[in-house]
Each structure stands twice: as C-alpha cells, then as structure tokens.
Structure 1
Amino acid sequence: MHADLSPVIAATAQWLTRAFPAAGGALASALCEVQARQAVTVAAWLRYPTAMDAALLGMAGPGGSGRLDWVTGADAALGDDTDAHAWRTWVDEVVASWAACLLTDPELAARAVTALADGSHSTGSHAEFRRLTAPDDSDRKAAALLRHPDLLAPVAGLHQDQLLDRLNPGRTLIA
C-alpha cells in the first residue's frame, strides 16, 4: 500500500505557489515555496493522521486541482493543455484549502501544529514549522500573495469548517 503523502504534499504545494507566486527573485521564490510546503504538510498530516489514512488516499487518489483551478480562475490559463500537467491530479483540494487557512492565520497555524501531536506523522514541533507559524518580515514579503487573506479566501473557504471541526472537535457554534 502507498502510505507516503509526499506526492500530495509536493503537488499541492506546487499548485499553491503557482496560483499565488512569490514576489521577487530566487530567494523570494524559495521562501514562498518553503511556506507553502510547511502549510501543506501540516494540512496533509491533519487530514490524513495515520498511515492507514495515507494508504487509503494513495489507493483512491486525492481528486486533483480542477475545482481549485476553477475557483481561482487558473482553469482559463490552462487552456486545452491540461494533460501537460499530470502533477495536478495529485493536488488535494481539502489539503489546499486547509493550507490556505493556515497561511492566512498564524494563530490557527500554531494550533494546527500543536494538534499534530495526535497523529502519527510528527511530534508537532513548532520549530520545524517556524516559517508557517511565526513568519518574519522576509517571509511575509516573499509570500505576500500566498498569505493574502482576500486572495486566498475563495480557496480557504472551501473546507475551512472541516479544519475548524478537526481542531475543535465538539465545539458549539454561536449564531
């Protein structure tokens, strides 16, 4: 069975950095990619907390970037050549949505990293996700689009409630 989340993490992080590219040169691109990868890793580990969950994902597949492309308008840029990007089939919409939520809210990101202690992927160490949970000025500047709440809102809103349910099981909503 396929219990490795790395194809989903790589593809989903790539989708995020293409949809919300870095502002600047090579260093900015690298900083943006690190932040996207950290957010996607936390989101994927929360979404698929056990080896069995990851194995089931490997068998069923993550679903691809179709809806995400439509929501962000990227489907128009793809044109008819969608086959040229086979990696897009490994994009997980829920993971991308959760990652978008984490990128726009460092406090939520810190709670998510803490919640990783419940899963089998990580000890939930905040240090390994510093660029996600405590971005400095260079991180924020490099990933200005990737962390912009208004730009990420359509993606974050797709599955934000599921993330909040995962981080706050049994919570009561006040209307």
Structure 2
Amino acid sequence: MLTDLSPLIAATARWLTGAYPPCGGALASALCEAQARQAVTVAAWLRYPTEIDAGLVTLSGPGGAARLDWITGADAGDAAGEEWAWRTWVDEVVASWAAALLTDPALAVLAVGAVAGGEHTSGLPVEFRRLLAPDDSDRRAAALLRHPDFLAPVAGLHQDQLLDRLLPGPALAA
C-alpha cells in the first residue's frame, strides 16, 4: 500500500495555484507554488498523521476538485481525459485547511507545531519558512493565494475541523 502523500500534495497545491494564480512572472510563479506546497504539506500531514492514514487515502482516493471548482467558480472545462487525471487527487479538506493556514499566520504556527515530531517528519529536517514568515517577494507573488477574502469560501469549508484538530477540548462559551 502506498503511504506517500506526494500525489495528493502536488495535486492540491496545483489546484490552489490554478484557482489563485501568482502575480508576476516565472519567479512569482515559483514563489507562489512554494507557499501553496508548504501549506498543503502541513495540512495533509495534519489530516493524515500516520502512515496508515496516508495508505487509506491513497487506497480510497481523496475525492477530487469538483466541489472546490464549483465553490470558486472555476471552469474545469472538459474534466475527462488524461490531462485532467491529476484533479482526482485533489483533497477538498486539505485544500480548505491549507487556505486557512495561508490566510491566518497564528493558525499556521499552531499547525506547523502540531506536525513537528509526527510520523511524516521523524528524522527529517523540515522547514516551512515561506508559509510561516513570507517576505515581501512571497507576499507579492501570492497576493491572491494569501488574500483572506478571496480564500474565505474555501478556507471556511472545513475550518471547524482544523480548529478541532489544533485546539482540542471543549468549546468556549461565547
């Protein structure tokens, strides 16, 4: 059983950068993709924290991009054929969590702390600087990808589940 989340991470990051494209040329594209990939990686490791979880999602499939496309108004075109096969690896919950991390720095810090020392990071030096401390070039490149108003429909889909994962315990009364 495949326990590597890289197809899910790559497809979900690709969907995010397609829905919220970079602002600028080739360097901006690379910076935007790096930020999306880091956010999606943290979100995927939170969602599927063990090798067994990762194996199960690769076995059953993550669900695809159809609902995300509908929510964002993206035109998926003819979603059939080999050129669209990657879209079946997009994980809606992971995309939602990544969107929340990209738009809320405090949440991103909590999430990175939560995955530190987990099965996915054991023995590996892992850094998420572009997610946690984007510089001006990163911010300019990913202006759409980090805009809270633009990402709100996606981030809000499963944000409650993310908060439950990061802040377990009884809900505070208002």
Q: Kindly indicate whether residue 127 of structure 2 is the aligned counterpart of residue 128 of structure 1.
A: yes
1:118 is displaced (CA, Å) by 5.3
Residue aligning to 1:29: 29
Partner of 1:3 in structure 2?
3
C-alpha displacement of 1:173 = 2.9
1:36-55 alignment, distance < 5 Å: 36-55=36-55
Q: Could you list the per-position Cα deviations for residues 65-105 of structure 1 after superposition, in whole angstroms to 9, with x for gaps in the alignment?
A: 0110000001xx223x1114110000000000000000001
**1-structure distance, mates of 2:153, 2:99:** 9
Aligned residue number for residue 82 of structure 1:
79
Cα gap change, 1:159/1:103 in structure 2, threshold over 3 Å: closer, same or farther? same
Q: Give the structure 2 partner of residue 111 of structure 1.
A: 110
State how far apart, in whole Å, the 2-side matches of 1:26 and 1:127 are.
25
Unaligned runs of 5+ in 1: none
Per the TM alignment, residue 125 of structure 1 is displaced from its structure 2 partner at its CA by 8.8
Amino acid across the alignment from 2:144: L
Distance 2:138 2:170 in 1: 33
- Say if 1:40 and 1:99, in contact at 8 Å, map to a contact too: yes
Matched pairs, number: 172
Deviation digits for residues 149-175 of structure 1, max 9, x if unmatched? Answer: 000000000000000000011142323
Q: In the TM superposition, what whole-angstrom CA distance separates every residue of 1:104-142 from its partner, at most 9, and x where no partner exists? A: 011110110000135211159996100001111111110
Identity of aligned pairs, percent? Answer: 74
* Equivalent-residue separation in structure 2 for 1:68 and 1:141 (angstroms): 24
TM-score relative to the length of structure 1: 0.94
More helix by share: 1
Residue 17 of structure 1 aligns to which amino acid in structure 2? T
CA distance in 2, matches of 1:52, 1:10: 20
Equivalent pair of 1:113/1:124 in contact (CA under 8 Å): no
Q: Distance in 2 between matches of 1:126 and 1:105?
A: 24
Structure 2 length normalisation: TM-score? 0.94
The one-letter code of the counterpart of 2:17 is T
Q: Give the alignment's Cα RMSD to 1 decimal.
A: 1.6
Query: Take 2:124 and 2:107, find their aligned partners in 1: how far apart are those partners?
Result: 15
